[in-house]
Amino acid sequence: MQATPGAGRIGHTGMTCYVHADSLHCVGTRDTDWEGVRLHVVTGKGGTGKTTVAGALALALASGGKRILLIEVEGRQGIAQLFDVPPLPYEERKVAVAPATDGRPGGDVFALVAEAESALLEYLEMFYNLRHAGTALTKLGVMDFATTIAPGLRDVLLTGKAAEAVRRKESGSPVYDAVVMDAPPTGRIGRFLNVASEVSGVARAGPIRGHADTVQKVIRSPETAVHFVTVLEEMPVQETLDGIAELRGLGGGGIQIGWIMVNMTRQLELPEDQLRAAADGSLDAGELSVGLKAAGLEDSQVLATYLVAELVEQARTDAGQQVQRRRLDDVRQPCYELPMITDGMDLGGLYRLAAALRAQGAA
């Protein structure tokens, strides 16, 4: 486990504490425990690994005999790629099995590629018995308008699908223990989740408005939490801070902000003085060369200068990351750290990330 030693939950009722590298977070939770969250919305700037983290979270939540639905809303087929299965249709399909651990049984991850057009047809059929109106609607451009042009309509249809899956029951009990949504990037998350007010531009009354209000209730309930995936670089951290501020500023019941998932972390395992030396470029290549020679590597002097260059670069990156970490500390949200997978992201890597999330108490 490359996660920060000692990271994890040391909480007690009503108060949850998280420890990581250089700070202690104590975050008062609301009346509900995190356990009560059934819709996990995962957002993040492009390139931060949002889909991967959403997949790892679904796997982590599934362990212990749970049934989890992972929903993709941007039509990229990212989930299929991640779990190495053929492209997914508009249909809930099992894509992975969580491993049994520590005597706990495994669980199932299902996936759905939610798609606005199908959701609209489903909606029309459900409420107006109008499934066959589809062709006429497409010809007249209504379909285009509703699913790609009108602000908010598409989002209502997609978030509506997730809300429906959360509430769905079979013989009295929920079909899914939790739903994880691979949501749009941080720059669009506020608008995406603020459905009721976004559709007001085109629907101030009528059933779409009613539907939007229902979806809004689910999103603003304690059953929903929005998690931010970031890497420790300036722009993604800025977008995370902006996104959190935006959601906090929405008011009217508020949207619960969940975890900050710090992805692709990597730390140099060096004593403090050598870390400092690496960061200011005064690292002793001679000393390194002795070590390399002891390891039986030829050309140890030349090699040492190369490796010093790599250490210096990494130390500078680390120093920059510490600055970004402190900026994240200021928003006082629980943080989880996900190690950098350097040997290519595959199913094995995904299971490693899920294990890291579990070890830190995310599930």
Within residues 38-57, the interface with other proteins by CB under 8 A covers 45-48, 51
- Segment 169 to 228, residues that bind other proteins, using CB under 8 A: 184-185, 187, 198, 201-209
User: Nearer to other proteins by C-beta: 27 or 302?
Assistant: 302
35-68 per-residue burial string, b: 16 or more CB within 10 A, e: under 16: eebbbbbbbbbeebbbbbbbbbbbbbbbbbebbb
Please tell me the total number of residues recorded for the chain in this structure.
363
User: Nearer to other proteins by C-beta: 194 or 224?
Assistant: 194
- Segment 291 to 350, residues that bind other proteins, using CB under 8 A: 291-292, 294-297, 303, 306-311, 313-314, 316-317, 320, 340, 342-345
Decide: is 266 part of the binding site for other proteins (CB under 8 A). Answer: yes
Residue 240: DSSP 8-state? H
Member of 85, 250, 270, 359 binding other proteins (CB under 8 A): 270
State the number of binding residues for other proteins (CB under 8 A).
80
- Segment 138 to 167, residues that bind other proteins, using CB under 8 A: 139-142, 144-145, 148-152, 154
Applying CB under 8 A, the span of 88-96, 160-168, 290-298, 352-360 interacting with other proteins comes to 290-298
Decide: is 133 part of the binding site for other proteins (CB under 8 A). Answer: yes
Q: How far apart are CA 50 and CA 182, in angstroms?
A: 7
Q: How far apart are CA 360 and CA 19, in angstroms?
A: 10
User: Nearer to other proteins by C-beta: 247 or 311?
Assistant: 311
Rg (CA), the chain: 23
Closest separation between CB of residue 342 and other proteins, Å? Answer: 4
Closest separation between CB of residue 167 and other proteins, Å? Answer: 22
Decide: is 250 part of the binding site for other proteins (CB under 8 A). Answer: no
Q: What are the DSSP calls for 63-126, one per residue?
A: TTT-EEEEEE-SSS-HHHHHHT-PPP-SS-EEEEEEPPBTTB--EEEEEEE--HHHHHHHHHHH
User: Nearer to other proteins by C-beta: 308 or 362?
Assistant: 308
User: Nearer to other proteins by C-beta: 233 or 329?
Assistant: 233
Closest separation between CB of residue 37 and other proteins, Å? Answer: 26
Q: How far apart are CA 140 and CA 153, in angstroms?
A: 17
Member of 5, 15, 76, 105 binding other proteins (CB under 8 A): 76
Task: Fill in the per-residue mask, 84 to 123: x = in contact with other proteins (CB under 8 A), - = not in contact.
Answer: ----------------------------------------
Member of 27, 97, 287, 348 binding other proteins (CB under 8 A): 287
Q: What are the DSSP calls for 137-197, one per residue?
A: HHHTTHHHIIIIISTTHHHHHHHHHHHHHHH-EETTEES-SEEEEEPPPHHHHHHHH-HHH
Decide: is 129 part of the binding site for other proteins (CB under 8 A). Answer: no
Q: How far apart are CA 57 and CA 283, in angstroms?
A: 40
208-231 per-residue burial string, b: 16 or more CB within 10 A, e: under 16: bbebbebbbebbbbebbbbbbbbb
Closest separation between CB of residue 130 and other proteins, Å? Answer: 7
User: Nearer to other proteins by C-beta: 150 or 357?
Assistant: 150
Helix 207-219 and helix 153-167, axial crossing angle in degrees, nearest 10: 60
